[in-house]
Amino acid sequence: MLLFSARYSSHRLAGSSCRCPSSSGRLLHSSVIEEAFQLKTLPSGVQRLKRPENAFTRFLKDRFGSKYSPKDMGEGGRMWREMNDAERQSYQDAFNADMTEYRRRAKQEIYCTCPTPPLAIYFRFLRDQKAPGSQCHAKWAAMTEAEKQPYCDAYNADLVIYRRRKMEWTQGLMQGSLDDIQNMKGKRDKNPSLNQLGHYIARFKKTYESPELGMIDSLPPRSQSPFQRFQTARGIPRNIAKVQWKMMTDEEKQPFKELYVQGCEHRRQALATAPWREFRALSAVRRARQPKPASKLPLSSYFRFYQEWAKSRSEAGLPTGKPGVLAGQAWRQLTDEERAPYIDAYAKAKAEYLASQQSTAAQS
């Protein structure tokens, strides 16, 4: 899985003959990934599982080949209706066998199934009714457009989500990847069109599959400073390393300074041979590979109470530590019923935190 985050920036690579646009006139180049976006590819080993073709589609391909025309579909439909059950049975048996295997594989984690289309408008209405179907149909026909509108709005909202999920499945992306794309051509757009999303997927995959991505592990990182090299070599804490570093003479520091200069020269030579546009994309991938800072644990029930208690107090100039003492006394005087809201809020926040940690671990 690769998390790709590319953003436009103007900088110059040392020793390179190519130059980026100046900061005063940042002209966006058409061949550069200009807007920031994030896409996640499916983890390695996960396969897209396609639903098997139905019996009629199998008959069409058997009769007219895989590339049949609309005219062939009309002719095939007429022939299909004229066939008896025995003639259709072979196609139906093949579909049933493939469907059984499809359902078995769909339960496995290594397969990613195609998203299900949203429920149609009329069937949403039927789902909410308890009357027989004939009465529901008459009631639906008597409804005005305003009364049908809530069902239409719900269907259209689900249809937008379905089309995004279908595009993610088709392009081999993780579910929800397209929801992060909001910055379109410098304009804030929370509802980009499918054409825009397809355009950004194509640009992402072109960079993701380019041979230049093989350079990412060969491009050296920034050279460590002499002090950092000294601390790493000694394996001591930073505060102790500072004291020892200040006590060292210039001759004792010289080996670490030479290693720093060699690292800078090695990086300069490597960057001089890398085109700056490809390097920008590779640097973005490298930044995305860096581990994210761990999320903070939720506040405990006592500290949630302390926040509200501190807002309600008007005293000023209390000695350091005195507010905590007073808040602790107030907390101990609370009954179980008065503490319950804080305890419940902490339990809910902790459950959400643990769930997010598990989802993050599963994606990585």
pLDDT tens, 281-307? Answer: 556 655 655 666 667 888 999 999 998
pLDDT for the residue 342: 93
From the list 67, 57, 126, the residue with the least C-alpha distance to 94 is 57
pLDDT for the residue 316: 66
- Say what percent of the chain tops pLDDT 70: 70
pLDDT-wise least confident of 75-79, 171-175, 206-210, 344-348: 206-210
pLDDT(22) > 90 = no
Contacts (Cβ under 8 Å, ≥6 apart) of 264: 223
Helix locations, the chain, DSSP H:
55-64, 70-82, 85-106, 121-127, 133-142, 145-171, 194-208, 226-234, 238-247, 250-272, 276-289, 301-312, 322-332, 336-363
Burial 250-285 (b: 16+ CB within 10 A, else e): eeeeeebeebbeebeeebeebbeebebbbbbbbbbb
From the list 358, 357, 355, 327, the residue with the least C-alpha distance to 342 is 327
CA distances from 249 to 42, 118, 234, 246 (A): 54, 73, 16, 8
pLDDT for the residue 180: 63
Tokens 């509108």 correspond to 149
Burial 156-193 (b: 16+ CB within 10 A, else e): eeeeeeebbbebbbebebbeebbeebebbeeeeeeebe
pLDDT tens, 39-51? Answer: 666 776 777 788 8
pLDDT tens, 80-104? Answer: 999 998 999 999 999 999 989 888 8
pLDDT for the residue 277: 56
pLDDT tens, 251-274? Answer: 999 999 999 999 998 888 877 766
Domains, the chain: 3-41+174-215 (no CATH), 47-108 (1.10.30.10), 301-314+321-363 (no CATH)
pLDDT tens, 336-348? Answer: 999 999 999 999 9
pTM given for the model: 0.45
User: How far apart (Å, rounded) are the C-alpha atoms in residues 12 and 34?
Assistant: 17
pLDDT for the residue 16: 34
